[in-house]
Chains A and B, each alone.
Chain A
Amino acid sequence: MSEELDDLYQQVIMDHSKSPRNFGKIEGFTHHAEGYNPLCGDHFGVDLILKDGVVVDVKFNGAGCAISTSSASLMTEAVRGRPTAEAEALFERMHALVTDRPDPGGPDLGKLEAFAGVRNFPMRVKCATLAWHAFHAALNGAAEPVSTE
């Protein structure tokens, strides 16, 4: 097994893919959006409760590959309790990480560092960012499902 594969499918990613956290729906969400990758069929819904500009609760539902599922799961942990601007800044940082662009700085990535290995798999960047795109769309009130294409 190549080192790059080990990097991609590391323990934290496999753990969150097999046992996703915050999986489900929120009754009475204040914000919601869906993310869809038409190339592979991965589809996630993201429900949010925003209060005074803070993400007080977040859940996701749907189905996807190990990378997209674990990314959605880790995202919910990373953004819960954060002000929306900080959560968006985290997405920027995460996006730079997986696309191998210069780090824009911002909130500490924490466990999201696990996705650094995605940069060696350009075909999988969309998997790692699908739930984040949906989260971003939910914050910005997108009515239509967002697509990675």
Chain B
Amino acid sequence: MNFDVERERARFPALHQQVWNKPLTWLDSAATTQKPDVVIDAEAAFYREDNANVHRGVHALSARATQKFEAGRDKIAKFLGAAESREIVLLRGTTEAVNLVANTWGTANVKAGDEIAISGMEHHSNIVPWQMLCQRTGATLRVLPYDDRGVLDLDAARTIIGPKTKLVGCVHVSNALGTVNPVRDLAALAHAQGAVMLVDGAQATAHVPVDVVGMDIDFYAMSGHKVYAPTGIGALYGKAKLLEAMPPWQGGGDMIRSVTFEKTLYAAIPAKFEAGTPNVAGVIALGVALDYLGSLDREAMYAHEDDVLAYGTERLLEIPGLRMVGTAPQKVGVLSFVIDGVHPHDLGTILDRHGIAIRTGHHCAQPVMAHFKIPATARASLGLYNTRADIDRLIDGLLAAIKVLR
């Protein structure tokens, strides 16, 4: 097998449009990926043919919807390398997954004097829930430092992760820098101290293999829309033993075994954490997105993405006054940069009029901006469908923008 980028590009309808009379150049996949036709079709097909609530009625459509929904869960479990499907809790996305752990596992296990250690390059979604937990419990938030390339300092982590540490949280791939973090090593450090390891996988699933069992991760959070599936659906992987011991979070239908006004018995995992009618179509479409990725030669796809990333880095550095932000040797998917005398926001506006979509701003990682003493970066981010030609258009657009702005 190999990876034919033009053939795959053709399967993403939204890529084939004009923006401001220019062909769209989508370099914002770290914000959200475009969707292949099979995913869009799966979402529509569910509502056309199978729409019913799950785990409820005895009728044909409900049975069909339930079967497809649970098949979606199985596909997510397999994709993440989980041992069992019941270790997959279906949620809105990474943010909700982290919040679930902070509110259930956190409330049950963290008390005053304990410590939560997170990396300095976390997205706000893996910072704020822990700050909130620390405020509630009197625990302390510790930060694992990284160097000016964006490489986590494992020696420092060894001294910070200690007997007081209850949980270590780290982003698998940094959305602002592209760094691939050594989450397996961090998990070993956490476990040596009796702490659990939570990984924010939002940015990783599209770009690197995930194997929660092999990496010995306790909690892994992911979002469908970052991996070619719809928005509003994601998952939390949790080791069964941990999930079983955790109190429920939201109360409602589907998460109970029996309810009386005196006492409610909760359902087994994962239903215990899935109150209310879920995003059935989203789960099914996410399963289809993972099937789609599974149909590709992943190694060849990763190699293609690496090539575009390397080419992008090389071409960007040709631009006078440009500085890359995030230069870790282990890096995927993200080209973050600043240009002397040019504010990222202005770049974004001018590139847009050239049909080029990039993200500008702090990328919901303000502490990362503070580390590099910059208010914002421009970020071009890659999906499997990007090519060297996209990079060439970006460079032309940047040169045109600089002409206006400098």
**Residue numbers in A under 8 Å from B405 (CB-CB):** 9, 14, 66
**Residue numbers in A under 8 Å from B404 (CB-CB):** 1, 5, 9, 14
**15 residue pairs A–B, Cβ–Cβ below 8 Å:** A4-B353, A5-B349, A9-B405, A14-B405, A40-B362, A40-B375, A41-B362, A41-B376, A43-B375, A64-B345, A64-B375, A65-B346, A66-B346, A67-B346, A124-B345
Per-residue contact bits, chain B 339-362, to A (CB 8 Å; 1 contact, 0 not): 001011110011001000000111
Q: Determine whether the beta carbon of A40 is less than 8 Å from that of B349.
A: no
Q: Does chain A have a CB within 8 A of B20?
A: yes
Within 8 A of A (CB), among B294-345: 341, 343-345
A128 CB to nearest B CB, Å? 12
Within 8 A of B (CB), among A50-108: 63-67, 69
Assuming the contacts A39-B361, A42-B375, asked whether A66 and B353 have C-beta atoms less than 8 A apart, the reply is: no
Assuming the contacts A14-B405, A64-B343, asked whether A5 and B369 have C-beta atoms less than 8 A apart, the reply is: no
Per-residue contact bits, chain A 21-47, to B (CB 8 Å; 1 contact, 0 not): 000000000000000000111110000
Assuming the contacts A2-B353, A5-B353, asked whether A40 and B346 have C-beta atoms less than 8 A apart, the reply is: no
Identify the A interface with B (CB < 8 A).
1-2, 4-5, 8-9, 14, 18, 39-43, 63-67, 69, 121, 123-124, 127
Q: Does chain A have a CB within 8 A of B400?
A: yes
**Residue numbers in B under 8 Å from A67 (CB-CB):** 345-346
Cα–Cα distance between A42 and B376 once the two chains are bound (Å): 9
Q: Determine whether the beta carbon of B362 is less than 8 Å from that of A2.
A: no
A-B contacts at CB below 8 angstroms, number: 54
Q: Does chain A have a CB within 8 A of B131?
A: no
Choose among B20, B346, B366 the residue that contacts A2 (Cβ–Cβ < 8 A). Answer: B20
Assuming the contacts A2-B20, A5-B350, A9-B405, asked whether A63 and B375 have C-beta atoms less than 8 A apart, the reply is: yes
**Residue numbers in A under 8 Å from B353 (CB-CB):** 1-2, 4-5
Identify the B interface with A (CB < 8 A).
20, 341, 343-346, 349-350, 353, 360-362, 366, 369, 375-376, 400, 404-405
**Residue numbers in B under 8 Å from A8 (CB-CB):** 349
**Residue numbers in A under 8 Å from B349 (CB-CB):** 5, 8, 121, 123-124
**Residue numbers in B under 8 Å from A18 (CB-CB):** 341
Cα–Cα distance between A8 and B404 once the two chains are bound (Å): 10
**Residue numbers in A under 8 Å from B361 (CB-CB):** 39-41
Q: Determine whether the beta carbon of B375 is less than 8 Å from that of A9.
A: no
Cα–Cα distance between A4 and B352 once the two chains are bound (Å): 12
A6 CB to nearest B CB, Å? 8
**Residue numbers in A under 8 Å from B346 (CB-CB):** 9, 65-67
A137 CB to nearest B CB, Å? 20
In the complex, given contacts A1-B353, A123-B349, what are 6 additional A-B residue pairs having Cβ atoms less than 8 angstroms apart?
A40-B362, A42-B375, A64-B345, A65-B346, A121-B349, A124-B345
A12 CB to nearest B CB, Å? 14
Cα–Cα distance between A67 and B344 once the two chains are bound (Å): 12
Cα–Cα distance between A83 and B343 once the two chains are bound (Å): 33
Assuming the contacts A4-B353, A5-B350, asked whether A40 and B20 have C-beta atoms less than 8 A apart, the reply is: no
A16 CB to nearest B CB, Å? 13
**Residue numbers in A under 8 Å from B360 (CB-CB):** 40
B399 CB to nearest A CB, Å? 12
Assuming the contacts A9-B405, A66-B405, asked whether A40 and B345 have C-beta atoms less than 8 A apart, the reply is: yes
A119 CB to nearest B CB, Å? 14
Cα–Cα distance between A66 and B376 once the two chains are bound (Å): 14
Q: Determine whether the beta carbon of A127 is less than 8 Å from that of B345.
A: yes
A81 CB to nearest B CB, Å? 30
Cα–Cα distance between A18 and B353 once the two chains are bound (Å): 22
Cα–Cα distance between A144 and B250 once the two chains are bound (Å): 34
A84 CB to nearest B CB, Å? 30
Q: Determine whether the beta carbon of A41 is less than 8 Å from that of B350.
A: no
